[in-house]
Chain A
Amino acid sequence: MKKGKVWKYGDNVNTDVIYPGKYTYSMLEPDEMASHALEDLDPEFAKNVNPGDFIVAGRNFGCGSSREQAATCLKYAGIQAIIAKSFARIFFRNAINQGLPVIQSEEAARTIEGGEEIRIDFSKGKIRSQKGDFTFSPYPASVMEIIKAGGLIPYTKEKIKRGKLGK
């Protein structure tokens, strides 16, 4: 069980407010990215987030641009996982590929409140909050492998080393 504090946001949190376009091609270092995380939505976030915190949000989290920094900046800001009612497609892939777990749970996202402390057990698919427990289906094995490797780049590196390419 990993515990952390919750930052709660609404529906349609888009990639421009997570990581503004003006930085997309000028900053390459993850720590620099983290200092601008959620800048246009919640200027307090980057200053006060602690390693291990969670984000809980509404529908369509991460909609908009394909910019991977939207996932990278949250991961390096210390976010342990994101729970939302739903995720935008590209953000979902980007998060997994950065080794940042994303959990889709309508009920948990609705019930859990900002500021509260929650615990998540990834292997069992369990979220424990003050308002009750929630379950989610654990990832398919292939996705879990990418998260375990720490993201797609280290995963691909391993795969090539082991000569495990499909074709």
Chain B
Amino acid sequence: MGKTFSEKLLGAKADREVQAGDVVTVSPDFILSHDNSAAIIKKFQQIGVKKVRVPHKIVIVLDHVVPASSEKYALNHKIIREFVGEQKINNFFDISTGICHQVFSEKGFAMPGKLILGADSHTTSYGAFGAFSAGIGRSEVASLWATDEIWLKVPETLKIEMEGKLSNGVFAKDVILKIIGDQGADRANYKAVEFAGKAAQEFSIASRLVLSNMAAEMGAKNGYFPPDNKTTGYLKNRAQQPYEIVSSDSDANYESILRYDVSSVVPQVASPHTVDNVRPVAEVEGLKFHQALIGTCTNGRLEDLEAASRMLKGKKVDPSVRVLVIPASREVYLQAMRKGIMEVFSEAGCVILNPGCGPCLGAHQGILAPGEIALSTANRNFRGRMGSRDSEIYLASPATVAASAVEGKITDPRKYS
């Protein structure tokens, strides 16, 4: 019997033959954290060692509340800046760079065959590049900084075979929302997800990131795409290290294989307050909302901004909604600016914010009041996530969000494409 990607990669790291269910002790290639590094530093200091064990494995990106919106956040950032200076952590990206998952990818840390662990649940994103990447907690990151080792269970793998071609106005976001809606928010709990099939290969790197990112919303430990020439092309002049492609054997043992024909997928919307509360846009069409958010680590890349700007070009945002646009990184911001996309947003009446998480986690830049409704390109719609516990969040693709912003109510973007 052959092995899955996860079995091969974790086996190689543990230096022995392993199969799903085994527990291994391993050293990751990279360890990611963000603004939560301040809390991690505190825990690291409690362990009582002076120096982090392997400084070059640590990657820290300030993104969650940037620039600092209060004295407390400012102090956290200061503690982190001082720590990275003392510990000679060179892979530090300050508030001007963007959302950790986008920056980590752009700077070439996300590579095939690498083991990446991060103190953020959407660390699953780097599966888009063929890495094994999983979210862990803060104590675990502190402990990794001190010891460079951690235990992981080798997960079973759920394979999602995708065939067919997306119709106009339908995007990667609609596909993953459809899958999560069908399968439920815990279908992949403790498991690895492998996105396979012709349609998976058709997806751009940016689109693959949408699926791998949101694999976390099915509970997945990682969300792997087999690397191909799109992957190696993206990594040319970016990759931080040499890398080796690791793939599943053709006779590997999967927990299940799900099949999806993406040609039949229509634009999808996740309604409050769970990500698996998904239905076709037609069923929520006409619903009024107050704030739109185009951005986040799920849908803040150039491809997303382009799709949104096509809906907004030459039009005005409906006066009843406020639209926040947040490029996922400075690199994306610059590309969008050079292409004239930012001009489209601004002329349409959108508020363009600096690259970062923005209001995605309800800490600043566009908090919802009681009774307000947001339509967002983010990955989560949990109660109270963007502000008041009496507000609501709907999730959709950038095209759906932008088309809806024009009409002031939830709208099928295919009308405009």
Residues of B within 8 A of A166 (CB): 25, 149
Distance in angstroms between the alpha carbons of A130 and B50 in the assembled complex:
51
**A98 CB contact (under 8 Å) in B139, B147, B186:** B139
Inter-subunit contact A64/B137 (CB<8 Å) = no
Q: Distance in Å from the Cβ of A32 to the closest Cβ of chain B?
A: 11
B374 to chain A, nearest CB (A): 14
Assess the A66–B119 pair: CB atoms within 8 A.
yes
Which residues of chain A have C-beta atoms less than 8 A from B43's C-beta? Answer: 153
Segment of B165-173, B383-391, B408-416 engaged in the interface with chain A: B383-391
Contact of A65 among B48, B65, B121, B185 (CB under 8 A): B121
Please indicate the chain A residues that have their CB under 8 angstroms from the CB of B372 in the complex: none
Q: Is B361 an interface residue (CB 8 A)?
A: yes
Chain B 19-50 per-residue mask, 1 if CB under 8 angstroms from chain A, else 0? 00001010100000001101100110011110
Give Cα distance in the complex from A41 to B380, angstroms. 16
List of B residues within 8 angstroms of A151 by Cβ: 139
Q: By DSSP majority rule, is chain B's interface helix, strand, loop, or mixed?
A: loop
Residues of A within 8 A of B142 (CB): 153, 156
Interface size of B in residues (CB-CB distance below 8 Å): 55
Chain A residues numbered 7-64 whose CB sits less than 8 Å from any CB in chain B: 12, 14-17, 20-22, 24-26, 28, 39-41, 59-60, 63-64
Cβ–Cβ < 8 Å partners of B139 in chain A: 68, 94, 97-98, 151-153
CB within 8 Å for A152 and B185 given contacts A25-B35, A88-B219, A93-B137 = no
Known contacts A25-B64, A26-B70, A153-B143, A88 near B186 by CB under 8 Å: yes
Q: Which of B118-155 contact A (CB under 8 A)?
A: 118-121, 123, 135-140, 142-143, 146-149, 151
B221 in contact (CB, < 8 A): yes
B363 within 8 A of A: yes
Are B362 and A20 interface neighbours, CB within 8 A?
yes
A160 CA / B361 CA spacing, docked (Å): 36
A153 to chain B, nearest CB (A): 5
Q: Is A123 close to B, CB under 8 A? A: no
Point out the residue from A24, A140, A157, A159 that lies within 8 Å of B361, measured CB to CB: A24
Contact A66 B121 (CB under 8 A): yes
Which residues of chain B come closer than 8 Å to A24, judged between CB atoms? 36, 64, 361, 363
B92 contacts the other chain (CB 8 A): no
B231 interface contact, C-beta 8 A: no
> A90 and B382: CB pair below 8 A?
no
In the bound complex, what is the Cα–Cα distance between A151 and B137 (angstroms)?
12
B121 near A28 (CB under 8 angstroms)? no
**0 or 1 for each of B74-88: is its CB under 8 Å from A? (1 = yes):** 001000000000000
Q: Is the CB of A89 closer than 8 A to any CB of chain B?
A: yes
What is the size category of the interface that chain A forms with chain B? 35 or more
Cβ-defined contact, A28 with B219, below 8 A: no
Known A-B contacts A89-B219, A151-B139, A160-B48; the reply to A20 vs B149 at CB < 8 A is: no
- Which residues does chain B contribute within 8 Å of A66, judged by CB atoms? 118-121, 123, 135-137
Contact (Cβ within 8 A) B384 A16 = yes
What residue of chain A has the Cβ atom nearest to residue B361's Cβ?
A21
Bound-complex Cα distance A166 to B147 (A) = 9
**Bound Cα distance A57, B146 (Å):** 35
A residues near B253, Cβ cutoff 8 Å: none
Question: Bound complex: CA of A145 vs CA of B281, how far in Å?
Answer: 50
Contact A59 B186 (CB under 8 A): yes
Main secondary structure on A side of the interface with B: loop
Instruction: Render B312-334 as a binary contact track against A, CB cut-off 8 A, 1 for contact.
Output: 00000000000000000000000
Q: Is the CB of A64 within 8 A of B380?
A: yes
* Contact of A94 with B382 in the complex, beta carbons under 8 Å: no
A97 CB contact (under 8 Å) in B65, B137, B189: B137
B201 to chain A, nearest CB (A): 28
Residue of B nearest to A159 (CB): B147
- Interfacial residues of chain B within 182-236, with CB under 8 A of chain A in the complex: 185-186, 189-190, 219, 221
A156 CB to nearest B CB, Å = 4
- Cα A160 to Cα B49 in complex, Å, equals 9
Q: How many whole Å from B73's CB to the nearest CB in chain A?
A: 6
B48 touches A157 (CB 8 A): yes
B387 proximity list for chain A (CB < 8 A): 22
Asked if B274 is at the interface (CB within 8 A of a chain A CB), the reply is yes
How near does chain B come to A102, taking the closest CB pair, in angstroms?
A: 13
Contact check, A60 vs B219: say whether CB atoms are below 8 A apart: yes
- Chain B nearest CB, measured from A45 CB (Å): 13
Given contacts A66-B121, A66-B137, A93-B136, contact A160 B362 (CB under 8 A): no
- Selected from B39, B140, B146, the residue in CB contact (under 8 A) with A160 is B146
Most buried by A among B38, B70, B363: B363
A21-B47 contact, Cβ under 8 Å, with A28-B39, A89-B190, A156-B143: no
Supply 6 A–B pairs (Cβ within 8 Å), ascending by A: A25-B64, A25-B363, A66-B123, A89-B221, A97-B139, A156-B142
Q: Which residues of A contact B (CB under 8 A)?
A: 12, 14-17, 20-22, 24-26, 28, 39-41, 59-60, 63-68, 71, 86, 88-90, 93-94, 97-98, 140, 142, 151-153, 156-157, 159-160, 165-167
Known: A25-B36, A40-B383. 12 other contacts (CB 8 A): A12-B185, A16-B382, A26-B70, A26-B73, A28-B42, A40-B389, A63-B189, A63-B219, A64-B121, A68-B137, A86-B186, A90-B137
